[in-house]
Chains A and B, each alone.
Chain A
């Protein structure tokens, strides 16, 4: 016990003596007995560092990790990518890890500048002007995007494409439920079919590529949104941004996304980082969610950085704030910025290209198997859905027995697609792995 406390018994006694108290217990003497806990916590006693790590190792051994265990073709919003050595080396620096939100700019130029660079790169990815210093994850970024649109348009109807990730749609439902009216735009052959009459819409939410990997017509969605007086919120895949036209250039007003592919391990789903960018529109000063780093000068007119426009935020605007976010995902944002700088424009393009090549090759191999068909026809980039003869869950189970995470079963989320598996292929898969996978897949169908 007591790993965390430096005080010796003699020091505790000296301090208590100074305070005129007899025991540590006396520190709580003013608290009514009725609520005091007698006998301490019913939590196992403390353990030595090595014992705790042995326990953690045992827990880890009870997993079959997608990376370092199985050969994985799973995507569905969380992706296995190479993680350059510089990313963990730099993001584990304790000046980043153990500092608080940079409220004291003179002591926090490192974090502030790293976030300023992150904001600059997120703007570049999405072709937009203003990016915040991160949100929790793609789902929370989508929620904030819709809230921003509702505040900016003073409307409350949001149309959400059915091809937005089902978990994101559910988070949006949970978190905006009391305030927004959500409507779902259906899919036709893997792409969103927006209704002709959008009504008094505040926003349209589309994913590019969408959850089935398909390339949506973002420009068309933007036109429809703008004709209806709504904003287009596009959930854009930042890896695909290496090849695809930016959602900003296609007309999106707000881009949201998941920054996990840049330097963050799968980690059972978190912590990841919600990317958020928008146009330099009048609503930014009042309604942009999250923290924002701006460039300024110090008293000696040297370049410096500081959190800015904080009058938007909860600590100033309180009940009138459009967002409650305070703690964000800074460290993960810094990891993403380091990874993006390591990639540069051509590395990012190469990364996206390699994902797309691997996916094309994998798809071709699997489609040779009798009974395997495309689940939808729309063009895809590096994630795609295939229909299997017989329940996907059974196929995936057999593949797991052979050491593969063969993708994600779509049946619970898109029953209308029948028996279907969603597969993603990133730069990490080799041709040999794919060839073996394809023959195992064929056997798994028998």
Chain B
């Protein structure tokens, strides 16, 4: 392995990188195992209400004999239990999380405060518009900012996540073709697309047709030409795509799809790379979903909640889900209105409103200029890291990357038998969350790395060195250390096969539980 000289990023006084691995190496009981009959935490306010019995209030055939089997714990034990659980979990606030496609950037604390203001949290979603002017204005202003960022005409803020945004966008596509009197059956998707794309296509009642990627890792234009016809409702694309590459033929792609009467859908999971540099609307996209939990710093919450607004070109505005918050220019009041040919509601209320408030605060804090710098440094970090691991991994699609890149550990596997999975687990011991593995599907032993803009150059360099170290080590020890990893975590390598074979999906008090379940308490 040859190495390029690295630039000097760490000065004599500071600029050190640090990222800590999790603690919490003790066994942790299930909350039910802490339960003791009769123990309690709860109390309720004094209301002075008459104290009727349950039998006075509930018809006998509806009244349960017993309340649901919940655990009975003291507040002290509950707090200790949950706090110990948190110590068994890695997070962005602990260190770097270069999980490709997920944009695990630091989430400013400002947004936590903004989304817990009582005047926002205390509003009931069915309150009349006169009582919710502040919320409606916030949503209208967020919509406006998102439209300026994407170059679109209007947006719905209802979808709760990216996948729900995709389905919304595809239903808009459907409504458009239906209204034009030419229903279609197929949606084109590159073979590198995220799994939610084809799943959403099916839910929207369309068939997925895969478009192959070419040798550059971009949409194969010749293949696209043969696939586009008047039965194609549209093409779903991420740009930059899931290889982290910008689809440089986007103008031609848009022309081909539009000439056949199709619409162009933008999966905005990778919007972080192009803020202020390129707008989906200017590339010809008609429908754009955004993952506010990626680009706009809504924290992932261990898997959600996020928010997946969908912005559209002018010709699709009349189909947007309702009700939509809007400013009535006559009265200068904010109202909720449903567009004339609306596809209907997507969410029970107005979307993940408090998550939307976080994104609003993030956009206001960064501003247009700040967002552009976000994109530039996200790309800079990824480009730097990719160059630094050029000699460590294969780079099957070696075009200039945007905010992330996909390396292949196939070279390491060939030389040492160590898989991408093993390297990922070994990286944990080095203090970093692993990259996304085995996605996109078109890359063998894929490692998809997205450092994000919030990691300092020193941290990015430290990641590069960690990759180098673990591969060098694997070459030396034949992969023994990687295959044994991770050993610094609360549990060692987890048996996924057994989980699926012997399903245990909830706690039960039965005696037949595995011996593993009866680990002696560290207190005994």
Contacts and interface: CB of A to CB of B under 8 A. Distances in A.
Nearest to B322: A170
Contact of A346 (B40, B166, B277, B494): B40
Contacts of B54: 243, 349, 353, 356
A132 to B, nearest CB: 9
B57 A93 contact: no
A59 B283 CA distance: 34
Chain B contact residues, majority secondary structure? loop
Contact of A297 (B138, B369, B424, B516): B516
B364 A44 contact: yes
B351 interface: yes
Contact of B67 (A242, A271, A313): A242
A326 interface: yes
Interface stretch (A221-229, A357-365, A369-377): A357-365
A246 B502 CA distance: 27
Contact of B387 (A18, A136, A408): A18
Contact of A16 (B303, B367, B380): B380
A108 interface: yes
Contacts of A408: 126
Contacts of B181: none
Interface in B276-296: 276-279, 282-283, 291, 293
B453 A4 contact: yes
B125 A68 contact: no
Contact of A96 (B301, B306, B439): B301
A107 B70 contact: no
Contacts of B496: 105, 296, 306, 308
A69 B122 contact: yes
A35 B32 CA distance: 57
Nearest to A320: B202
B228 interface: no
A120 interface: yes
A97 B299 contact: yes
A84 B42 contact: yes
Contacts of A306: 494-496, 499
Contacts of B507: 116-117, 120
B118 to A, nearest CB: 5
Interface stretch (A48-56, A186-194, A197-205, A437-445): A48-56
A98 B92 contact: yes
Given A178-B205, A244-B63, A4 B454 contact: yes
A267 B505 contact: no
Interface in A380-439: 381, 396-397, 400, 405, 408, 427-432, 434
A379 to B, nearest CB: 5
A295 B117 contact: no
A354 B47 contact: yes
B164 interface: yes
A324 B163 contact: yes
Nearest to A351: B44
B524 interface: no
A137 B514 CA distance: 34
A153 interface: no
Nearest to B382: A27
B64 interface: yes
A343 interface: yes
Contacts of B277: 28, 31, 36-37
A134 B203 CA distance: 19
Contact of B149 (A43, A119, A346): A43
Given A130-B505, A344-B41, A351-B44, A111 B494 contact: no
B89 interface: yes
A3 B365 contact: yes
Interface stretch (B77-85, B219-227, B467-475): B77-85
A361 B164 CA distance: 42
Given A244-B64, A349-B67, A84 B455 contact: no
B126 A321 contact: no
Contacts of B291: 327
B22 A107 contact: yes
A56 B44 contact: no
A270 B353 CA distance: 5
Contacts of A241: 68
A131 B504 CA distance: 11
A381 B491 contact: no
Given A100-B104, A105-B491, A178-B174, A326 B162 contact: yes
Interface in B329-372: 343-355, 357, 360-361, 363-372
A43 B494 contact: no
A352 to B, nearest CB: 8
Interface in A321-354: 321, 323-332, 334, 337-338, 340-351, 353-354
A183 interface: no
B91 to A, nearest CB: 4
Nearest to A132: B505
Nearest to A63: B134
Interface in B72-130: 72-73, 75, 78-79, 82-83, 85-94, 97, 99, 102, 104-108, 110, 112-114, 116-128, 130
A324 B380 contact: no
Nearest to A330: B303
Contacts of A350: 42, 44
Interface in A129-155: 129-131, 133-134, 136-140, 147
A174 B321 contact: yes
Interface string A94-113: 11111111111111111101
Contact of B93 (A95, A326, A430): A95
B522 interface: no
B258 interface: no
B160 to A, nearest CB: 4
A64 interface: yes
Contacts of B145: 43
B133 interface: yes
A298 B488 CA distance: 13
B447 to A, nearest CB: 13
Contact of B57 (A15, A110, A329, A360): A360
A331 B384 contact: no
Contacts of A133: 303
A165 B345 CA distance: 13
Nearest to B69: A124
Given A100-B99, A113-B28, A324-B199, A5 B373 contact: yes
Contacts of B352: 136, 270-271
B400 to A, nearest CB: 5
A106 B299 contact: no
A313 B198 CA distance: 11
B457 A295 contact: no
Contacts of A46: 364-370
B93 A357 contact: no
Contact of A345 (B22, B72, B91): B72
B195 A313 contact: yes
A121 B453 CA distance: 39
Interface in A283-303: 291-303
Given A4-B373, A350-B42, 13 more contacts: A63-B119, A63-B131, A67-B122, A67-B124, A84-B42, A98-B91, A100-B433, A138-B348, A174-B345, A268-B350, A269-B125, A294-B500, A325-B161
10 contacts: A64-B131, A106-B494, A116-B506, A136-B347, A137-B160, A140-B160, A171-B347, A350-B44, A353-B57, A430-B49
